[in-house]
Amino acid sequence: MGACSTLRVILGDQLSRSVSALRDISLHEDVVLMMEVMEEATYVRHHKQKLVFVFSAMRHFAHSLREQGITVDYVPLDDPDNTGSFTGELRRAVQRHRPQRVVVTEPGEWRVWQMMQAWQAELGIPVEIRHDDRFLCSRAEFARWSGHKDTLRLEFFYRYMRRKTGWLMNGDEPEGGRWNFDVENRKPLPAGVVAPMPPRFPPDETTQEVMQMVRHRFAHHFGDIDSFGWAVTREQALQALDHFVQHALPRFGDYQDAMKSGQDFLFHSALSPYINIGLLLPLEVCEQAITAYRQGHAPLHCVEGFARQILGWREYVRGIYWLKMPEYAQSNTFDAHRPLPDFYWTGDTDMRCVREVVSATWRNAYAHHIQRLMVTGNFALLAGIEPKEVEEWYLLVYADAYEWVELPNTHGMALHADGGLMASKPYAGSGAYINRMSDYCRHCVYDVKRRVGERACPFNFLYWDFLMRNERILRPNARMSMPYQLLDRFSEQEKAQIRQQAKQFLDTVCARSSGGNRWSRT
């Protein structure tokens, strides 16, 4: 092959035509390199649907670039010479194309960022790493905003971003006179309300080929593959966005925290996999939601609630990740070391709430936020599961999981393992919370009203045991004063019973069995 001018590397979560690495591309002189590599497919054992989603979307994206006259060098996983890593494939591509320079957009994960830092020296040609300006707040801007604060709070960052973008603002004032309509986002789902299912897309020939490959080469990975129906092109992802804005956004806010058996998506958008790999841009998603409000199609509390997730939370967790890595992943505030119970892989537990969430995760490579936070996350927090094991689980089971977003959500929000950098108190809840927000408890063998004793709901005794075990850390926190006041009314006998039942329960469910973790590690 002749020499090209610039080799432009596009990673599997950079599938946007507007991504910075493609911005000034020359159709005649430049080559785009895309590579399917085992290292990325196996650094955790991703859900089968996540693998199909990423590989199929990559192949479709390469096709769409070629249609625009761009030369794409695409290395498939089954290329016999595939070295299996980004660095190995880039080295081979440089030999093939002899470019004057390499251009790439900064990656989403620290792991890959480390690799990229070494590329220029390894290849002996200039490597330009560009900002990923699909995010609305750059890493440098977030660092400036955070200054030297000891604790960071979403609410202040969110206001900063609202002012910066002017979204839902009247001059310097928030639309509707309030920044946040959170209190209106906490309704359980009334009986008879059925949420619209997000559109599913029948696998085309390319997706079916990838499905065959994944069935064959990744048979031991977690998750169902046959129900695959994710969008794999930008056109399909745009249809999913339209569908959400039309059918679910007008009630998104009301039932944001609700959970319901048999309704896996409720009024959530299920757009995170598309936004995270670049099929949709966060900017256009927010703008479309805000247009729906301006046109009177969706009420303010729903649109504000939705925009807050993307403009607020999504940017906030990304900022924290890059501000604090790599140390961020190392803290373990509650000194939690129990192994992850088997039921996170099998769903085989009598706790109906956990069973529902794990089985939805298996079927869809998706669970909505409250399921992730207040069921599987809450259990791991209360039970004192080793953060690294929990984080690995979250990183592999969801189609939208990349470390920049998974880690702060798991380590910081769900496990409070960062000592409160991200959230002012742990999101710990007893069975009462799950009962209020779902219909799970109605058909559970455990009794959600019982704190201790036979058939007592494990979320209850684990909750109080968690507060007792971590009293030294949590009692001084003013936001925890209510539960400690309640705990102070328990008799010593009841406290001892709670401790004993929690220990017995955890010793049983966290014991590694021969089948334990069989999906998780290579």
Per CB under 6 A, 462 contacts ligand SF4: no
Task: Work out how close the CB of 13 gets to ligand FAD at its nearest, in angstroms, rounded to a whole number.
Answer: 11
From 62-70, 273-281, 428-436, 514-522, span contacting ligand SF4 (CB under 6 A):
428-436
- Closest to ligand DLZ by CB, 7 or 41: 41
Binding segment for ligand DLZ among 108-116, 228-236, 303-311, 439-447 (CB under 6 A)? 108-116
Closer by beta carbon to ligand FAD, 65 or else 415: 415
Distance separating alpha carbons of residues 52 and 225, to the nearest angstrom = 8
The residue within the footprint of ligand SF4, chosen from 446, 463, 466, 519 (CB under 6 A), is: 446
Which residue, 376 or 520, is less far from ligand SF4 as judged by CB?
376
Query: Cβ of residue 44: shortest distance to ligand DLZ, in angstroms?
Result: 9
- Minimum Å gap between C-beta 363 and ligand SF4 is 19
Q: Check binding of 107 to ligand DLZ (CB under 6 A).
A: yes
Site for ligand SF4 contains 506 (CB under 6 A): no
Q: Of these, 303, 396, 457, 510, which contacts ligand SF4 (CB under 6 A)? A: 457
What DSSP string describes 101-123? EEEEEPPSSHHHHHHHHTHHHHH
Token digits of residue 450: 């019982």
**In angstroms, rounded to a whole number, what is the distance separating the alpha carbons of residues 87 and 73?**
15
CA–CA separation, 274 and 240 (whole Å): 9
Do 362 and 449 touch, CB atoms closer than 8 A?
A: no
Binding segment toward ligand DLZ, per CB under 6 A, in 104-112, 322-330, 385-393, 505-513? 104-112
User: Does residue 127 contact residue 115 with C-beta atoms inside 8 Å?
Assistant: no
The region of 17-25, 230-238, 347-355, 412-420 touching ligand SF4 under the rule CB under 6 A is 347-355
Q: Does 273 bind ligand DLZ (CB under 6 A)?
A: no
Whole-Å CA distances, 144 to 137, 138, 140: 11, 10, 6
Write down the least CB distance from residue 466 to ligand SF4, Å.
15
Closest CA to 145 of 107, 136, 305: 136
Q: Is the CB of residue 103 less than 8 Å from the CB of residue 94?
A: no
Residue 314 binds which of ligand DLZ, ligand FAD, ligand SF4, none (CB < 5-8 A, kind-dependent): ligand FAD
Determine if 435 is a binding residue for ligand SF4 (CB under 6 A): yes
Residue 197, Cβ density class (10 Å: 0-12 exposed, 13-18 middle, ≥19 buried): middle
Specify the residue, 441 or 502, whose C-beta has the smaller distance to ligand SF4: 441
> For residues 87 and 93, what is the distance between their CA atoms, to the nearest angstrom?
10
Query: What is the distance of C-alpha 255 from the center of its chain?
Result: 20
d(CA 343, CA 340): 8
280 binds ligand SF4 (CB under 6 A): no
CB-CB contact of 346 with 513 (8 Å) = no
CB of 10 to ligand DLZ, least distance (A): 7
* Binding residue (CB under 6 A) for ligand DLZ from 73, 106, 109, 254: 109
Number of H helices and E strands in the chain, helices first, is: 25, 7
Position of minimal CB gap to ligand DLZ: 12
3-state secondary structure of 507: helix
Pick what 260 binds: ligand FAD, ligand DLZ, ligand SF4, none; C-beta below 5 to 8 Å, kind-dependent.
Answer: none
Structure tokens at 190: 């009334």
3-state SS string for 327-384: HHHHCCCCCCCECCCCHHHHCCCCCHHHHHHHHHHHHHCCCCHHHHHHHHHHHHHHHC
Radius of gyration of the chain (CA): 24
Should residue 410 be labelled a site residue for ligand FAD when binding is judged by CB under 6 A? Answer: yes
Here's the x/- map for ligand FAD, 335-374, by CB under 6 A: it reads as ---------------------------------xx--xx-
Judged by CB under 6 A, which of 408, 426, 458, 483 binds ligand SF4?
458
**Do 383 and 506 form a contact (C-beta atoms < 8 A)?**
yes
465 binds, among ligand FAD, ligand DLZ, ligand SF4, none (CB under 5 to 8 A by kind): none
Q: Return the H-helix or E-strand segment holding 514.
A: none
Q: Is 460 left (phi over 0), alpha (psi -120 to 50) or beta?
A: alpha
User: How far apart (Å, rounded) are the C-alpha atoms in residues 393 and 409?
Assistant: 13
Contact string (CB under 6 A) for ligand FAD, positions 382-401, x = contact: ------------x---x-xx
- Give the bridge partners for 35, in sequence order: 75
Question: Two tokens at 369?
Answer: 């936020």
DSSP 224: -
Per CB under 6 A, which region of 11-19, 190-198, 361-369, 373-381 contacts ligand DLZ? Answer: 11-19
Asked if 11 is part of the footprint of ligand DLZ (rule: CB under 6 A), the reply reads: yes
Q: According to the binding rule CB under 6 A, does residue 145 interact with ligand SF4?
A: no
The residue whose two tokens read 């925290």 is: 257
Q: Is the Cβ–Cβ distance between 183 and 24 less than 8 Å?
A: no
State which of residues 203, 299, 319, 377 lies at the interface with ligand FAD (CB under 6 A). Answer: 377
Residues 360, 431, 466, 519: which binds ligand SF4 (CB under 6 A)?
431
Minimum Å distance from CB 11 to ligand DLZ? 3
Interface residues toward ligand FAD, by CB under 6 A: 268-272, 275-276, 306, 309-310, 313-314, 317, 368-369, 372-373, 377, 394, 398, 400-401, 405-406, 409-410, 413-414
Interface residues toward ligand DLZ, by CB under 6 A: 11-13, 35-37, 40-41, 46, 51, 54, 107-109, 112, 402
